[in-house]
Amino acid sequence: MTKLKDLKWFCPQPFTNYVLYRDLAPLSCCVLKEWPRNKIKRKYKTNDPRKLHNEAEYADFRKEFLNGGGPLTNKHCQVCIEQEKHSGESHRKVYLEKFIEEHGEYNQYLEDLENYIDTDMTEPHILTMEYVAPSNFCNLRCNMCGPANSSSLAKENIDIGLTNLFQMEKYKDNPLQKIKDDVEKYDDILVNLAELKLVGGETLAIKDNYDMIQRTIDLGVSKNMVLKVTTNGTLTPKFDGKDIFHYIPYFRGCSMTVSIEFWGERNNYLRFPSKWDVIINNAKRFVECPNTNVMFATTVNALNIGYMPEISCGVKELMSECDEPSVNFKETFSVPKWSWASGSLVWGEGNEYAVTALPLDIREQYMEKYFDFGPKIKGDYSHFQKLYAYMEEMPFDEKLHKEMMTNVQLRDKHRGTCLVDVFPEWEPYYEKL
């Protein structure tokens, strides 16, 4: 039997995960959701996940992970490849460790997966599902986001004349888009899941996510799975008289991922117009729910990479206030009650805020900051080793830098904000429009 630990460059996601992505058929791999959606729709005209699972490109993609890589992984796994080039961390390794580590979240399914990859794999073997809500509604305008994930950012792009940006062709006439979905058609997938992940837009502000949750409850399977929710932490609305706090107890456990970019008021600048006190208060409400943990998660971009130590210190303070530091999910595995991750590297087409846009002199200031924090960030060595390597090794892209500064200045003028009021180190590169 093939052993996952013996494979050179393996990721379990194409073998165990579905992403249900708005107007498209379910994708049998999280990474492939980044394929241009209009091309997939034209190429694979099916709503049957089993048919999609066996399309040649999907089958070839899985084979590449068994054979150490290839052209499809080179094309669609760029973020993980770039992460591993500079450090020992990546999303791929995180997913893999969940299976191969003794106390990993999915260690109990390791043998099943190893048996599966020795078959012809014509039948799907789905353990987790990510439901990307069929709406791009979001109340925030995060600079490094895109119109597919934020109706508010799409509207701002129109208002400031950035209709030619990446993905904007679809949204320039209608910034808020919603597609009708019927969650009952996913019943055959839901009944076997160990994990249901919900994302947005702003996840907690889209009713379809609550419909999906309610469907798992109606099927009697929510008690078998962990609910994972990604949210900006600014809203906890009610739909049909029920908010997220009503639903959490129905699940085996719950992980709330709260997306931030900074610890404290600086977060309000890049995740405009959020309020830090609202976010932190909601995070504390989440962690008080039964069998629930909170992970703060950031992108890694040119503006926030120098401020990661402050996030580490902030989370450590929350942990020190916690009477019960861990959450046990039905004694199968445990996770810290509070944690943070710097995983989502801003990279690729349409990402002006990539680390390569960061000037070398500011990089030096940020790298020195890491040393200044010293013992305060002890225990997060791998996080900061990775981030330090990004700043030290990634080439400076002057063209991208200029594009980012133009983007920053246009948004500042529209919002009434000013980059150098929050980040004075950028003053040599900033001109008010």
Is residue 303 predicted with pLDDT exceeding 70? Answer: yes
Q: For the chain, give the mean pLDDT.
A: 90
Mean pLDDT of the 292-307 span: 97
With vertex at residue 91, the alpha carbon angle to CA 86 and CA 97, rounded to the nearest 5 degrees, is 110
d(CA 223, CA 291): 12
pLDDT tens, residue by residue, 109-158: 999 999 999 999 999 999 999 999 899 999 999 999 999 999 999 999 99
pTM of the model: 0.91
Instruction: Round to whole Å and give the CA distance between 399 and 397.
Output: 6
User: Is the pLDDT at 28 greater than 80, yes or no?
Assistant: no
**Residue in 228, 32, 31, 7 with CA at minimum distance from that of residue 99:** 7
Cα 232 from chain centroid (whole Å) = 11
Eight-class DSSP state of 271: E
Residue 332 predicted with pLDDT over 70: yes
Tell me what pLDDT residue 40 has.
39
Q: Residue 344 pLDDT more than 90?
A: no
Q: How confident is the model over 225-240, as a mean pLDDT?
A: 98
For Cα atoms 98, 100, 106, give the angle at the middle one, nearest 5 degrees. Answer: 40
Distance CA 385, CA 432 (A): 35
* The one-letter amino acid at 234: T
The candidate with the shortest Cα–Cα distance to 300, out of 357, 350, 257, 349, is: 357
Q: What is the 3-state secondary structure (H, E, C) of 130-185?
A: EEECCECCCCCEECCCCCCCCHHHHHHHHHCCCCCCCCHHHCCCCCCCECCCCHHH
Burial class (CB in 10 A: 0-12, 13-18, 19+), 320: exposed
Q: Taking the domains of the chain in order of start, what are their residue ranges? A: 4-126
Question: Predicted confidence band at 22 (pLDDT cuts at 50, 70, 90)?
Answer: low
Find the helix or strand (DSSP H, E) in which 209 lies. helix 207-218
Q: What is the mean pLDDT of residues 334-340?
A: 94
Lowest mean pLDDT among 25-29, 217-221, 230-234, 372-376: 25-29
pLDDT of residue 433: 59
176 pLDDT exceeds 70?
yes
